[in-house]
Amino acid sequence: MKREIVVAMLSIATFGTSAAWPVNVIFRHDYVVPGGESYESVTVHEAPGERTTIEFYGQADYLSMHDSSTLNLHEGGKFESFGDGQSRLYDSSTLNVFEGAAIGAGSAASLNIYDSSTLNIYGGMVELLFCAHDSSTINLYDGSLGLLAGVADNSILNVYGGSIDVFLSNISVSPTATVNIYGSDFEYRAHGRWMPPITGDDEGWWVSHLTGYGFDGDSMTLWGLPDPDTHDNINLIPEPGTLLLLGLGSAALLTVGGRGLAC
């Protein structure tokens, strides 16, 4: 039987770094998880009348967030699984991934974002299959986003910098979803990388390549976006200086589609 503990209004000293840590932990109040602590799963709920915020420096396999809670994944913090479980965000929760933090996986593990929740990547690394559902939002400011499966159900992907590198296939963008890419000097190539056949019934396919510069002036490399000439829900939005030169600015509306992994 898996051990489970509910963390309510307990101080950090209650546990101490030398404690025998449980397999599963449930947080219902603000808490700081120090580096070196490890769990199989982390679940975050709100306490009555307040929203829980977790400062996370430790490690765990899976994450489940509820009730408009917030988890800040700091440098050294990691969610990494080599199984087939899923991490999930529900109920307008927010996950912030900062520089030096990582969400990674092997096998069939995934991250799914539901119910108007938000994933913000501020220089960290998110490298696993995941999908945004139910009007949720992904903001990539810096860092990397990999193995992206799709953006669905009126969700939004905003890219201000960093990189996207899909694995095997292109990104699936629902007709009701929106992708906004902010920057300048965009260059799109539909034939960016050839993927050879995986099975005898597969003929292989191209993975697309979009490059440019983000608002901070750093280069962006985005793999797997579908063809901007054939879609209208992916917007390439010039940097503020370019908008000024254009006189209040006109955003080039380019939607990306193509072969992609479904959510």
- Spell out the residues 6+ positions from residue 137 whose beta carbon is closer than 8 angstroms to its own: 116, 117, 118, 119, 155, 156, 157, 158
* Contact assessment for residue 148 and residue 171, using Cβ atoms and an 8 Å cutoff: yes
Alpha helix (H) residue ranges in 190-247: 240-245
Measured between alpha carbons, how far is 51 from 3 in angstroms, rounded to an integer?
25
* Contact assessment for residue 53 and residue 69, using Cβ atoms and an 8 Å cutoff: yes
Partner residues linked to 142 by β-bridges: 122
Residue 126 belongs to what domain range? 4-261
Weakest mean pLDDT among 149-163, 178-192, 200-214: 200-214
For residue 179, pLDDT over 80 is answered with: yes
Q: Can you tell me the mean pLDDT for 55-82?
A: 95
- The reported pLDDT for the residue numbered 4 is 55
For residue 224, pLDDT over 50 is answered with: yes
Measured between alpha carbons, how far is 199 from 205 in angstroms, rounded to an integer?
12
**Residue 259's pLDDT band (boundaries 50, 70, 90)?**
very low
For residue 249, pLDDT over 50 is answered with: no
Q: In total, how many domains does the chain have?
A: 1
* pTM of the predicted structure, to 2 decimals: 0.84
